[in-house]
Amino acid sequence: MLIRSERSEDRQAIAAIHTEAFGRPDKAALVAALRGLAEPTLSLVAEADSRVVGHILFTPVTIRSATSSSPALALAPLAVLSAHQGSGIGSDLVRSGLDACGCLSQSVVFVL
């Protein structure tokens, strides 16, 4: 199993993963909408037997209070094809994603 950055040719497979794993199309639509709203900071896929079977997305957000605002990342969505669930791929995507966020000096990540 390989964790790597998303490539443009992965987009259809990513949409199919979210649709299948969640059992409805709204998370695939969310990924497309987030791509349109903000350049995702990090989009990773898990590849098994040369097939994309999992995906995780981190998108920039701003945390605002009455007196300050600071940058953070939102982790959402995360999905693994149901036939590949339960073998650690989701955990590997989260760990690899958080490691990469750290390398990008992003120290705050929200999970939706």
| Chain positions contacting ligand COA, by CB under 6 A | 21-22, 76-80, 85-91
CB of 105 to ligand COA, least distance (A): 24
Return the residue nearest ligand COA (CB atom).
90
Helices (H), the chain: 11-22, 26-37, 89-103
Q: CB-wise, 48 or 67, nearer to ligand COA?
A: 48
Angle at 73 between CA 106 and CA 80, to 5 degrees: 115
CB of 94 to ligand COA, least distance (A): 8
Q: Residue 46 in 3-state DSSP?
A: strand
DSSP 8-state secondary structure symbol assigned to residue 24: S
Q: CB-wise, 21 or 52, nearer to ligand COA?
A: 21
